[in-house]
Amino acid sequence: MDKGFWGKIKKPIFVLAPMANVTDEAFRRLFAKYGKPDVMWTEFVSVEGLLSVGREKLLPDLWKSRKEKPVVAQIFGGKPEQFEIVARQLAQMGFDGIDINMGCPDRGIEKSGGGAAMMKNPKLAQEVVLATRRGAGDVPVSVKTRLGYSKNEMTEWVKYLLEVEPAVITMHLRTRKEMSLVPARWDQMSKLVELVAREIPKVGERPLLLGNGDISSMEEARERVKETGADGVMIGRGAFGNPFFFNEKKKMEDLSIKKRLAVMMEHAKLFEKLFKDIKNFDVMKKHFKAYVNGFDGAKELRIKLMEAENAKEAGERVRNFLN
């Protein structure tokens, strides 16, 4: 199995998670500028949607620039034949990798057989990986998943995945039932590393193993790698509102409030420039909540920013606050 770009990355590997309505091109460009992770992911996109009349509406979720490379496109769905066609398209679009979402607990996504529902149908999950690999050609295919559906079934579930040789398995260290309501179970990451070491002689080449869940700093990420033997860590919510997260020389919290708010406004303006008339400006408001934190007057400013309908109005509120 050719791991593509994954085979060339120095370990430990630190990557930015795919998050719906978060990891769009504007968000990723800020990270590329202020503290680039080893790999970035797109938001997840429906394979069925990409093959439907609604395709044009979904394509902005797959926009990317050279500055963000390597970028992995994440897709979900329930029909292997759709994955094969879409994987071919994504390879032609120049993505460095293709990731299959087998962990999202959204009921709508599960209805289509995708996301976390894949764990209940491991044979279908295998067909999906193989179909995606056929379509992807030389582009490496990875899987992001969870410990199990309603209980921890990691051992049985991962054995199915290993048989179809994904280049990477990213394990969100909770079950689907647990959502994000309990602490991530990092003890399971060590067990995953051991399990894969045992099983690999039987099935083929070892995938890279990334752990995911509850990482709030790069120090913590490095600690988790050391403790568990994982190849790396995927960071999601911990990097929210902090494009300096992966920058180990300069930290967001060391910046002045004025500079932090300037970075936030840079994000808002870029979002508006890229997605004007395509995405609602309200998407930025979850980012405002994350940026505006931990300083005097933050709560009042957040309330005012929630009323802003565009970047200009947000900028005026920030200027008034600073004055």
Look at 31-45, 58-72, 191-205 and tell me which has the smallest mean pLDDT: 191-205
State what percent of residues in the chain have pLDDT above 70.
Answer: 100
**What does the pLDDT average to over 249-258?**
94
SS3 72: strand
Q: In sequence order, which residues have a C-beta less than 8 Å from that of residue 38 and are 6 or more positions away?
A: 9, 13, 14, 15, 70, 232
**What does the pLDDT average to over 69-79?**
98
Q: Is the pLDDT of residue 91 over 70?
A: yes
Q: What is the DSSP string of 29-46?
A: HHHHHH---SEEEEEEEE
pLDDT at residue 200, as a whole number? 87
Binned at pLDDT 50, 70 and 90, residue 190 comes out as: very high
> Any catalytic annotation for residue 278?
no
Q: What is the mean pLDDT of the chain?
A: 96
Q: Is the pLDDT of residue 52 over 90?
A: yes
Task: Name the strand (E) or helix (H) holding 16.
Answer: strand 13-16
116, HSE (Cβ side, Cα atoms, 13 Å)? 22
pLDDT at residue 205, as a whole number? 87
In angstroms, the CA 156 to CA 114 distance is: 19
**What does the pLDDT average to over 224-232?**
98
Q: Pick the catalytic residue from 98, 104, 109, 147.
A: 104
> Which tokens in the block code for residue 253?
């919290």
pLDDT at residue 1, as a whole number? 66
Cα 84 to Cα 18, 51, 73, 127, 226, distances in angstroms: 21, 11, 14, 10, 37
In angstroms, the CA 315 to CA 305 distance is: 9
